[in-house]
Structure 1
Amino acid sequence: MGSLADTRTLWSNGEGRKRTLSGCSSDSVSAPLNLRKVSWRQKIFLRVASPMNKPTSMQHPDHCDVMDLLPLSPRTFDPSLDPLASLLPTSGDPFTGKRPKRTAVHYRALWKTAIHQQILLLRMEKENQRLEASRDELHIRKMKLDYQEVGTCIKDVLAFWDRKLSVPGRAKVVPLDKEEVHNAISKGVPKGRRGEVWLLFSQQHRLRHRLPPGRHAPDTPYQDLLKQLTAQQHSILVDLGRTFPTHQYFSAQLGAGQLSLYNLLKAYSLLDTEVGYCQGISFVAGILLLHMSEDQAFDMLKFLMYDLGFRRQYRPDMTSLQIQMYQLSRLLHDYHRELYNHLEEHEICPSLYAAPWFLTLFASQFPLGFVARIFDILFAQGSEVIFKVALCLLSSHEGEIVECDSFETIVDYLKTTIPNLTHTQMEETISKVLDMDISKQLHAYEVEYHVLQDETVDAVLQSNNSDRLDKLEKTNNQLKKQNMDLLEKLQAARQKIQSLEATVGNFLSRESKMKHMIRSLEQERQSYQKTIERMRSCLPQDALADVEMTHMVKPAQGPNGKAKPTAKKP
């Protein structure tokens, strides 16, 4: 019997009679038959039954029966091989060519068999879809893990990790033995189960170390964060194409890798508003996505940032990164003095070459297999692994760096030559990192940094205090001078006020005199008015009329248009 794809190809267009499911060629089958109208049961049967070769000499081409559509071999028909043959009557009379009449029992049996076959086909279809999805998932997983592994795991190591990963409820069980885990890591971690191993390390770390309440990551679900908008969207989109541009999982523009990376960076920028998004986090998130799903990568990113404390180096002030650069310089000074002096002679500080190493955890410049091994040790031992890797890389290339005699050649060697490690160099570096312990030195250097910072601040404050006293004295003298000027202005203003007050007093006295004069004139006018009234009462009526007529007559005008003066009566 052929594959399910052959079945869909043969029967989806109603031309199943052209070939059999066993894959016979079109030359061994007959031409298509013109079917008469059939019942809906027969249509279902035709969709699921196997095609056959119809002998044209036994029947008219315009008539087709169900028996003609039963599965036949291209050459012969063996009833014992046909699953439906036992349900149908045998062939008819060889002399007349007629077939016996079929009963309802036969058709019912055919119908049941057709239903069973249809159910089988549906199940095969679902299984085929599941297999296709599984193939796509395997293809994506293979594409993610397309890098050269550093070191190979032997069977004993694979069995060890299988046992540890198969423990039920491993997030709540007794913590693993550190020495046992250290030995297992030194022998390697299986690439296919590396993400599970990292998750196991994070769970074990949380069993041993409890963060203070104020340092816990916000408990916002990943899916809820994806529904929100971030102000860092433009920066994230710009850096998507710059993150692992040569890796096939991230190289496709807005492909599956870039979309997953965008979701992860967006979710973290919304979760940690203080850090938001910083260049370098994208490479760390990309390494996580290569080995696990988005949800798991988001949880591991929170573990790196909060539990292991890497978020401090991504803060806007980057104080933690400055401390790390100081610690690296102190390590070079104490353990590789010649290299330290050579770098200091050419004024090359660690931030020129080591800042990308710390911000991307070596993922931006070094091979993925090497970076994956660094992450193996990082999740097991903590942030000091970054210092150990940097110190081992610099020490293993100390001779070549000292031979460089200029600023440009040294920086070029540090940025381009060191990352191009051979497979042997990577294995040797990992081996040295596993055997190194610098935790006490790092702690001492951090304390030393803070002490020096406080001393520097005190010295600056003292120097600032002397300068401040001088400035205060100058300011005081200026203020005294300004005060004297203001006093002189105040005295002049007071004198002016006094003169103005005297002027106002004069105006007030004159005003009172004028008011008194006005009152006297008013009294005099009233007395004159009374005198006039008495005089009018004493004059006769004729004289009074003449006086009134005199006042009513218009005065004569002179030659210049003015009124002529009239003689006053005595």
Structure 2
Amino acid sequence: MHKESNSSSSLPSLHTSFSAPSFTAPSFLKSFYQNSGRLSPQYENEISDGEGRKRTSSTCSNESLNAGGTPVTPRRISWRQRIFLRVASPVNKSPSAMQQKDGLDRTELLPLSPLTPTMEEEPLVIFLSGDEDTEKVEEKKKSKELKSLWKKAIHQQILLLRMEKENQKLEARRDELQSRKVKLDYEEVGSCQKEVLITWDKKLLNCRTKIRCDMEDIHTSLKDGVPKSRRGEIWQFLALQYRLRHRLPNKHQPPDTSYKELLKQLTAQQHAILVDLGRTFPTHPYFSVQLGAGQLSLFNLLKAYSLLDKEVGYCQGISFVAGVLLLHMSEEQAFEMLKFLMYDLGFRKQYRPDMMSLQIQMYQLSRLLHDYHRELYNHLEENEISPSLYAAPWFLTLFASQFPLGFVARVFDTEGQINQLMVLQQVFEMDISKQLHAYEVEYHVLQDELLESSYTCEDNESLEKLERANNQLKRQNMDLLEKLQVAHAKIQALESNLETLLTRETKMKALIRTLEQDKMAYQKTVEQIRKLLPADALANCESLLRDLAYSNNDKAKTGNKP
């Protein structure tokens, strides 16, 4: 590249020196052509004279043609001339590759001009007469260079724009990964092995295809653990499996309003939501920044739900539930999961203005402590510590405000499968499924009694009757509960039998289709045989078939007789 630039830069100086009126040929050029024997003394003197340059060039160009106007064959050049032309001209090809395609000799003189001349002219004459053509060539070169520069600039601009877009995408991914890393900044309860991650990946494929999975298999997988990086997707998978099995009635369905449309509206609960933003996970890095990304997304989520559920609106405790969801998924996904928890699982009952469900849960907890942990119950009663002081935050925040996030995440893993009090059951290792239902009935009975006691009852007999009726109702409720459990077991068995019967039915239908196809084929073959056989043979065959049919019927009758 350096040699080519030097050679090309030397050309304009040579042409300008030839065009000057005081032109004298260099001594090395004279000796060069004298030694080669190709430059006459007369021509040498004419070149040394500056005024006769044009005349000699014209004579050289005329001498290159013979009398008939046909071009003279080009002169052969020596190896020294070839080296000189190789250095002085901008041609990049080797001397062996400089031969024209029309079969000329390799040792012919190559032009010094950038434009390849016709073979009708002498090389030296072209070198001398190329002064006028150089300006045109330079102009063409400049235009071509400008076009190429414009093309390069446009291509570079396109590449720069593409690179900026890719950089923006990479920065967005980097920010997403960084925010995800900040979100999942909590200690996991237990360790999750690679085999568990592989099994969950296989199950998550069914989430896209919306296929029912075996619940026992899901329970075993939940016991083995849930990977922290895929926890949000697994929660959505569990919600889908729950909805495939439990259809929510149309009366209890949430309003069909999108998340983006809800964000455009204004809520009356805005002040209460803003106050609770700083109280929700204040030590977590994602929510600790005042009006940061975490608090803004939490505000949007709580605002959207308060507009969706007009009855509940916003209640203290929902912010912790929404915060746990936001740590594992995006805003829209967290909004769908919050709707699932509130409507499908029925947690919105404890956030209603009367908070009936919350009171039932606290009564159930106190009754459990009274029946199974009497010492703890007596200790709490002596110190006048009611369940509303310590248990209300547990139930309202789904244990998120009082326990580590690793434990809370494990509670959310099993939230669609069990009740909140079942978590306490696993802690204390008790079987309380029947007791919880009995305590709920008992709470309602006591509530009715309190309402009736407001009306003054003077007779003791009415109280005894109420107690008897209450005991009878309790017994009936227990019996009904047992019957309900038996009915649930029968329903599950019937559902499994129904599935097996449906599979058998499909198989039988497939067999019937194949048999019908075989029957049609046999009928066609019989018809073809009848066409080919004569009438006598057909009559004999039909008689034989009848005899065989009669004999088979007789054997069947004799076999059926005792």
Same fold (TM over 0.5): yes
Q: Does 1:323 align with 2:323?
A: no
- Asked if 1:309 corresponds to 2:338, the answer is no
The alpha-carbon deviation at position 161 of structure 1 amounts to 0.9
TM-score normalised per structure 2: 0.55
Give 1:460's match in structure 2, choosing from 406, 431, 454. 454
Residue of 181, 185, 189 corresponding to 1:150? 189
Report Cα offsets for 1:36-78 as digits up to 9, x if no partner. Answer: xxxxxxxxxxxxxxxxxx99xx99xxxxxxxxxxxxxxxxxxx
Counterpart Cα distance in 2 of 1:166 and 1:157: 15
Compared CA separation, residues 89 and 321, structure 1 to 2 (3 A): farther
Per the alignment, residue 124 of structure 1 pairs with 163
- Confirm or deny that 1:283 pairs with 2:320: yes
Q: What SS does the aligned partner of 1:169 have?
A: helix
Specify the alignment match of 1:246 in structure 2.
283
AA in 2 matched with 1:275: V
Per-residue deviation, residues 325-380 of structure 1 (Å, max 9, x unmatched): 1111122122222222222233322111111111111111211111111101113x
Corresponding residue to 1:297 among 334, 337, 345: 334
Confirm whether residue 169 of structure 1 aligns to residue 169 of structure 2: no
User: Is the contact made by 2:222 and 2:413 (CA closer than 8 Å) also made in structure 1?
Assistant: yes
Moved more, 116-125 or 229-238: 116-125
Match of 2:413 in 1: 376
CA distance in 2, matches of 1:129, 1:284: 33
2:422 partner amino acid: K
CA distances 1:126-181 after superposition (whole Å, capped 9, x unpaired): 111111111011111111111111122111110011111123634x322x211111
2:435 alignment counterpart? 441
Tell me whether 310-319 or 344-353 shows the greater mean CA deviation: 344-353
Question: What is aligned with 1:185?
Answer: 222
Decide whether aligned partners of structure 1 residues 183 and 107 sit closer, same or farther in structure 2, where only a CA change above 3 A counts: same
Q: Distance in 2 between the 1:265 and 1:209 partners?
A: 26
TM-aligned CA distance change 1:464 to 1:268, over 3 Å: farther
Once the two structures are TM-superposed, the CA of residue 193 in structure 1 deviates from its matched residue by 1.1
Output the CA distance in 1 between the equivalents of 2:351 and 2:383.
Answer: 28
Report the AA paired with residue 367 of structure 1: P
Letter in 1 for 2:378: N
Give the corresponding residue for 1:541: none
| C-alpha separation in 2, matches of 1:276 and 1:319 | 16
Q: How does 1:485-564 map to 2 (within 5 A)?
A: none
Distance 1:288 1:243 in 2: 13
Cα deviation for residue 389 of structure 1 reads 3.0
Alignment partner of 1:345 is 2:382? yes
Length, aligned pairs only: 337
Deviations 1:163-222 (A, max 9, x none): 11123634x322x21111111111111111111111111111111111222211111211
Alpha carbons of structure 1 residues 139 and 465: separation in structure 2 relative to 1, 3 Å: farther
CA distance in 1, matches of 2:390, 2:312: 23
Shift, 1:114, TM fit: 4.7
Which residue in the other structure is 1:336 paired with?
373
Residue 235 of structure 2 contacts residue 413 of structure 2 at CA under 8 Å; is this kept in 1?
yes
CA contact (8 A) 1:283 1:364 kept: yes
1:461–1:266 CA distance, 2 compared to 1 (3 A): same
What is the CA–CA distance in structure 1 between the aligned matches of 2:385 and 2:278, rounded to whole Å? 30
How many angstroms does 1:235 deviate by?
0.7
The answer to whether the 8 A contact 2:197-2:227 is kept is yes
- The residue that corresponds to 1:134 in the other structure is 173
Cα deviation code 1:202-261 (max 9, x no counterpart): 111111111222211111211111111111111111111111111111111111111111
Aligned 8 A contact 1:332 1:391 in 2: no
Whole-Å separation in 1 of the counterparts to 2:261 and 2:303: 12
TM-superposed CA distance for 1:123, in Å, is 2.0
> Which residue of 2 is the match for residue 389 of structure 1?
423
Q: How many Å apart are 1:457 and its aligned residue?
A: 2.6
Contact 1:152/1:187 (CA < 8 Å) preserved in 2? Answer: no
CA distance in 1, matches of 2:455, 2:395: 33
The answer to whether the 8 A contact 2:320-2:401 is kept is yes
Q: Which amino acid aligns with 1:444?
A: A
How far does residue 125 in structure 1 lie from its aligned partner after superposition? 2.1
Q: Based on CA coordinates, which of the two structures has the bigger radius of gyration?
A: 1
Q: Which amino acid aligns with 1:225?
A: L
Q: More helix by proportion, 1 or 2?
A: 2
Shift of 1:302: 1.0
Give the CA deviation at 1:119.
2.9
Task: Check whether the contact 2:252–2:343 (CA below 8 A) recurs between aligned residues.
Answer: yes
CA contact (8 A) 2:207 2:240 kept: no
User: Partners of 2:190 and 2:207 in 1: how far apart?
Assistant: 29
Partner AA of 1:173 in structure 2: I
Any conservation in 2 of the 1:328–1:391 contact (CA below 8 Å)?
no
Taking the aligned partners of 1:455 and 1:331, their CA distance within structure 2 comes to 21
Measured after TM superposition, the shift of residue 113 of structure 1 is: 4.8
Change (3 A) 1:456 1:270: same
Q: Which residue, out of 267, 273, 290, partners 1:230?
A: 267
Q: CA deviation at 1:270?
A: 1.2
Q: CA deviation at 1:437?
A: 5.0
C-alpha distance in structure 2 between counterparts of 1:392 and 1:290, whole Å: 25
Q: Is the 8 A contact 1:150 1:369 kept in 2?
A: yes
Q: Which amino acid aligns with 2:433?
A: S
Aligned-pair CA distance for 1:110: 5.5
Q: 1:137 to 1:376 in 2, by over 3 A?
A: same
| Counterparts in 2 of 1:109 and 1:307: CA distance versus 1, 3 Å | same
1:467-504: CA deviations, max 9, x gaps?
xxxxxxxxxxxxxxxxxxxxxxxxxxxxxxxxxxxxxx
Alpha carbons of structure 1 residues 122 and 377: separation in structure 2 relative to 1, 3 Å:
same
The AA in structure 2 aligned to 1:154 is Q
Structure 1 position 111, deviation (Å): 4.9
- Partners in 1 of 2:174 and 2:184 — Cα distance? 15
Please give the alpha-carbon distance, in whole angstroms, between the structure 1 residues aligned to 2:326 and 2:297. Answer: 8
Question: Using the alignment, how far apart are the partners of 1:360 and 1:344 within structure 2?
Answer: 24
Distance of 2:369 and 2:215 partners within structure 1: 28
Supply the AA of the counterpart residue of 2:375: E
Decide whether the 8 Å contact of 1:343 with 1:349 is kept in 2. yes
Partner residue in 2 for 1:500: none
Alpha-carbon offset, residue 449 of structure 1: 1.3
Q: TM-score, normalised by structure 1?
A: 0.54
Say whether the 8 Å CA contact 1:145–1:191 is kept in structure 2: yes
| Identity, % of aligned positions | 69
User: C-alpha distance in 2, partners of 1:325/1:392?
Assistant: 17
1:329 and 1:357 mapped to 2: Cα distance?
A: 14
Q: Which runs of 5+ in 1 are unaligned?
A: 1-53, 60-87, 396-431, 467-570
Output the amino acid matched with 1:296: Q
Q: Distance in 1 between matches of 2:342 and 2:248?
A: 12
1:503 matched to which residue of 2? none
